[in-house]
Structure 1
Amino acid sequence: MRKFIVIVFVFIGFVKSHAQVTVSPGLKGGLNISSFSNFESSDPKTDFYAGGLIAIRFNRYFTLQPEVLYSRQGAEVREYGVGGFGYRNLKYELNYVSIGAVAKYHFGGKGFHILAGPSLDIKTDDNFPDYEYNPASVDFSITAGVGYSLPNGLTFEARFKQGFIDIYNYNGLDDDYYYEDVILNNVFQIGISYTFKVK
């Protein structure tokens, strides 16, 4: 952890010395509303995400924001009970460390902005039954959204995050498995962040 902090501050110093930019580390967190595509008898699951960021503002209009987040995802599902009789309600959990970056465009150089960018999501744990399922260890996602930043460093954002790797690591090449059967992570996020001014 200490090495990571040193690397972050060295990076901030390097960028500030080579360009007329504003570099601001920060913290963020918020609400996840997650679900699975093509998963029968399922409902969205609510949980949270939290982590850190570095907002690199190159000018009034453009910001690049690397992020490292802990994201709790999954879905509320209904399955057949033991012996195939009746249903049982389960909360499937897939938790990730998401390493990514978003590019932001600020309209008129002011607070309102749009954003988009990729992330690599590394699974930290899940609660899927070992004898039934084996979730994939990584996911690749694209995030898009809108937000508004205040002069005091607070930012409010709404994002949609779409996974592109089947949660069971299916590659779409098996004869009895079709692309419409691929199960993907879908996450709607509402959150707030705060960036610190670095002199």
Structure 2
Amino acid sequence: MKLAVFIILDQFADWEGAYLSTQLNQSKDWQVAYASNQDQVSSIGGLQVKPQYQLTTIPEKVDLLVLIGGNSWQLENEKFKMLLKQRLLDGQPVAAICGAVDFMAKNGLLNTYRHTGNSLALWTDFSEYHNQQQFLETQVVNDRNLVTANGTATIEFARKVLKLVHFSESVDQELDLYQLGFYQYVEKYGNPFA
């Protein structure tokens, strides 16, 4: 079984990983787990989560590492930074959305990738970030083993990440239900309940 680990810090944006974690967790081929720097965290929406792992105890064998945005990505953690750097160098799938992309920029982890984020203007003081020319003003960017997204791109983020890990040939149809809404979905694909 493949393992996806979602990094959630206190005041994480619970909606940003919902479509992705739901698709993965409903698959017989994937297991979803959570990691943080605390024993329990709260989402911006008040959801209380007890992660299975600490940032320092994430298993070595992880098939997908997902960094969920929120209000606490001012994180200073050299070991976690090195884990991300090594995963990127090894070509292992990494995905980051919203404030988590800011963390990656601040730590120089986007310097060899095309990427996006909430706003390039937020990164002007990041001395380790040297790749403004490859910042794309678009919702989501997939470059090799990395997917980045701004905080308003939750469905498209899920779509790109699922395609990155070759999740299912029907990813577009499955997520179009949420992207299009039920009645436009029915026009395009037919009524799943009929």
Short-chain TM bin: under 0.3
Q: Which has the larger radius of gyration?
A: 1
Q: Greater strand percent: which structure?
A: 1
What is the TM-score normalised by the length of structure 1?
0.22
Q: Greater helix percent: which structure?
A: 2
Bigger RCO of structures 1 and 2 (CA < 8 A, at least 6 apart): 1
What is the TM-score normalised by the length of structure 2?
0.22
